[in-house]
Amino acid sequence: MMKRAWMAVLGLLLAGFARADAPPPAGAPAPEFVLPDASGKVHRLADWRGQWLVLYFYPKDDTPGCTTEAISFRDRQSHLAALKAQVVGVSLDDGASHLAFAEKHRLTFPLLVDRDGTVARRYGALSDFGLFKFARRYTFLIDPGGRVAKAYLSVEASKHVDEVIADLRDLQK
């Protein structure tokens, strides 16, 4: 009986991975989104048309890796702005969690609320285990025309921002 229960749990876990969409590849149109930020202001992909967008998905507010990544983006924001790039974070946390996270770490870029994981799913960044869902640590560099210029599917939080800045410089040559 116990073996059957474990097999059912394993099946649910594997089914969660099977339902994820494939991440959009470089050159593909970036999937549209309409999401609120921590204060309820609605943002659309089209809001950043004409500039570079660093759209990063992360698992959970105020966890070690997510905090490292967010602070790195905050601290290098002037470098990204010089490259005409805006940073936007997305997770499945609610607005109150995003607000507390942003205030605690003085984040100056929007954190968007994707409670049901719809946008994370479109970008292939959703891990869905039924009752337990979270966004994978993926980043998409979106060009001014709204196309994916680069997809980062293996992100090391402490080094990632430097990688994005280097790629932005190369892509803008």
pLDDT at 70: 96
In whole numbers, what is the pLDDT of the chain averaged over residues?
Answer: 90
Domains of the chain: 2-171 (3.40.30.10)
Long-range interactions of 162-168: CB distance < 8 A, separation 24+: 162/76, 164/54, 164/80, 164/139, 165/76, 165/79, 165/80, 165/83, 167/141, 168/52, 168/80, 168/83, 168/85, 168/141
Collapsed DSSP state (helix, strand, coil) of residue 26:
coil
Structure confidence by residue, pLDDT tens digits, 92-131: 999 999 999 999 999 999 999 999 999 999 999 998 887 7
pLDDT band at 16 (very low <50, low <70, confident <90, very high): very low
pLDDT band at 20 (very low <50, low <70, confident <90, very high): low
Residue type, 1: M
The proportion of the chain whose per-residue pLDDT surpasses 90, expressed as a percent, equals 82
Helices in 19-124 by DSSP H: which ranges?
64-75, 77-82, 95-104, 118-122
pLDDT at 99: 96
pLDDT at 18: 42
Active site residues: 66
> CA-to-CA distance for 102 and 53, rounded, in angstroms?
19
Structure confidence by residue, pLDDT tens digits, 64-97: 999 999 999 999 999 999 999 999 999 999 999 9
Rounded mean pLDDT of 11-36?
78
Rounded mean pLDDT of 9-25?
63
Taking the model in full, what pTM does it have? Answer: 0.87
Both tokens assigned to 25? 């590849």
